């Protein structure tokens, strides 16, 4: 039971680190995760978006950038990456191993340079006026 709690805590820390970077979350299509089997880790997979090593760096940076060997997401430890195309990386968060796999990754630079990428942060920015009416304006007749 305690092992399951630690495993889900680690998943929550990784997802919180990824959610804190809206650009990363928006660029990862078909983001999915599943338990890693009897060893108790997790597999996280996505299409397009950043390379696995870049996503690992996002999680590693969530520890405040102190060291690569911090504890918790306040501490992930980079364990390795494949050399075939940046598609696979492994990190460890609070003792739980995560296998990160990018399917057909574009890399973070290409994703950010791509024009027309829909950005959730822009869509939710209520401080900027647009010509389109907002849903609540439709409902309230404004």
Flag whether 107 is in a domain.
Answer: yes
Q: Please report how the helices 52-61 and 2-19 are oriented relative to each other, as an axis angle in degrees rounded to 10.
A: 100
Flag whether 109 is in a domain.
Answer: yes
- The count of domains in the chain is 1
Flag whether 125 is in a domain.
Answer: no
CB atoms within 10 A of CB 111: 19
What was the pLDDT predicted at 32? Answer: 92
Q: In terms of residue numbers, what domain contains 24?
A: 2-116
Flag whether 27 is in a domain.
Answer: yes
Q: Do residues 31 and 50 lie in contact, with contact meaning Cβ atoms separated by under 8 Å? A: no
Q: Is the pTM of this model over 0.85?
A: no
Query: Interior CA angle at 122 toward 120 and 124, to 5°?
Result: 70
Structure letter (DSSP) for residue 118: -
Q: What percent of the chain has pLDDT over 90?
A: 13
Bridging pattern class, strands 29-35 and 42-47: antiparallel
Flag whether 82 is in a domain.
Answer: yes
The CATH number of the domain where 90 resides is what? 3.30.460
pLDDT digits (tens, 9 = 90+) for 27-80: 888 899 999 877 789 999 998 888 998 888 888 888 654 323 333 343 344 444
């Amino acid at each position: 039971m305690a092992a399951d709690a630690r495993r889900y805590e680690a998943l929550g820390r990784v997802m919180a680190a990824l959610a804190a970077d809206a650009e990363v979350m928006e660029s990862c299509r078909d983001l999915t995760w599943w338990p890693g089997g009897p060893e108790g880790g997790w597999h996280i997979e996505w299409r397009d978006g950043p390379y696995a090593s870049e996503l690992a760096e996002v999680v590693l940076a969530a520890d405040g950038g102190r060291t690569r060997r911090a504890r918790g997401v306040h501490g992930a430890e980079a364990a390795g990456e494949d050399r075939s195309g940046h598609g696979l990386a492994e990190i460890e968060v609070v003792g739980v191993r995560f296998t990160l796999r990018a399917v057909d990754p574009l890399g973070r630079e290409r994703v950010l340079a791509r024009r027309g990428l829909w950005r959730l942060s822009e869509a939710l920015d209520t401080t900027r006026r647009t010509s389109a009416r907002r849903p609540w304006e439709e409902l309230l007749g404004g």
